[in-house]
Each structure stands twice: as structure tokens, then as C-alpha cells.
Amino acid sequence: MIIKHSLALATLALLAACANTWTLDLFEAPEADVGSKRSFLWREGEIGAPLMSEPRDTTDTAARLRTVITSELLRKGYVETTDAADADMVVSFQATGTRRIIESDQRRIGAPSPNELLTPGSIPPRPASELPPERSVREGTVVVFAEDPASGRLMWRGLVNAEIRVSSRDAAINQVVDAARHIAESFPARRAAP
């Protein structure tokens, strides 16, 4: 019985660690009434991030973002069109990223205790004159837009801004695509015409 509970708790902890918790910022213009629209036109988005150093990465990521966003809009009842005159809204995205260096929270104040220094096998502390260690943090922002095709005014916007805590470029790209999916899932569903 104890083993079953331990296994269940370990599984829940693993799922919680793997789950992405993003803060989603949504905006819909009061006059837009996005749910009453029928069709959308896709406009290529923009990608600007240090993790997209190769043009192939940018092209592949843009294609994956388009697939994720348009499939979610189609699932919500909208129709994709290639005719600008037939579109009720223009949908696009923007994905950007930055890398910044932050100092570690480990600050050296005063001298270490004798117990720390005289313990066998302990690692000697850094000299007080040495700078604290730094680490690189990636931050990414993904935005999905829906604009009015006639005026170009913003009708709807979903935004996720998060730290990307992965070490590989592919994993970072997967997180960007997951963020776009998360945003598109929050897009208002199409209401049937009365």
C-alpha cells in the first residue's frame, strides 16, 4: 500500500515538474466581437530570438507555429481563407527571445565559519575578492494577433512571456510552439450566426 502511494506521489511530482505554467495575458477590443467572425487570413509572423541563429530554424519554427495556431482556430469553428476580401480577420504571431546574464543569489558576506573550512573533504570557499558566479537565462515572448483586415486595428491578442529553462535549442523551440498552442486555445470560439 505504501509503495502504491509513493509511486503515485512520484508520478504527480514528475507531471507537475514537466507541466508548463505560463501567465497568459489576453486582450479583446470591446467593439471587435471576435466570436461572431467567420474567416481568417494568415499573415506570416515574425521571429527574432538568439536561439534562431540559422534560417532553417526560423523557417521550421514559423511553419510549426502556423500549424499550431491555424489548427486551433479551425477546431474552434473558423475558416481559413486565402482571399483577403473574404477574411473577417488577419491572424499572425510574433515570437521573440532574449538571453540575459544574472548573478547567482549566493552572496559572500564575511568569513566562513571554521567548521566549513576544517571539515574533511569540504570544498574550499571562493576568495572574497572573486565575483559571484553568473548564469544565463533565456526569456521568450510569444504573441498571437487577430487584426481587422480593413482598418488594421487590433481585435484580439494573446501573449505569453516566460523564462525558458531548457538547455537545448530544440527544447526551447518546442516550448515556444507549446506557448503558441496555449495562446490559441484561449482564442474565443466561433458563435453560430443567429
Indicate whether 109 pLDDT > 70.
no
The per-residue pLDDT for 99 is 74
Percent of the chain at pLDDT above 90? 45
**pLDDT (tens digit per residue) in 10-29:** 333 333 334 456 789 999 99
CA neighbor of 76 nearest in space, from 173, 191, 177: 191
The per-residue pLDDT for 125 is 62
Indicate whether 4 pLDDT > 50.
no
Mean pLDDT calculated for residue range 20-43: 90
- pTM over 0.75? The answer is no
Percent of the chain at pLDDT above 70? 66
**pLDDT (tens digit per residue) in 142-165:** 999 999 999 999 999 999 998 877
Full set of structural domains in the chain with CATH: 22-100+136-194 (3.30.160.670)
pLDDT band per the 50, 70, 90 thresholds, residue 53: low
Kindly report the average pLDDT of the chain as a whole number: 79
Mapped onto helix, strand or coil, the DSSP state of residue 142 is strand
- C-alpha count within 13 angstroms, C-beta hemisphere, residue 18: 7
The per-residue pLDDT for 69 is 97
Q: Compute the distance between CA of residue 127 and CA of residue 52 in angstroms, rounded to an integer.
A: 38
Cα 95 from chain centre: 9
pLDDT band per the 50, 70, 90 thresholds, residue 9: very low
Q: Compute the distance between CA of residue 150 and CA of residue 32 in angstroms, rounded to an integer.
A: 13
pLDDT band per the 50, 70, 90 thresholds, residue 62: very high
- Which is higher by pLDDT, 27 or 131? 27
The per-residue pLDDT for 55 is 76
The length of the chain in residues reads: 194
CA neighbor of 20 nearest in space, from 189, 174, 150, 132: 174
The per-residue pLDDT for 10 is 38
Indicate whether 44 pLDDT > 50.
yes
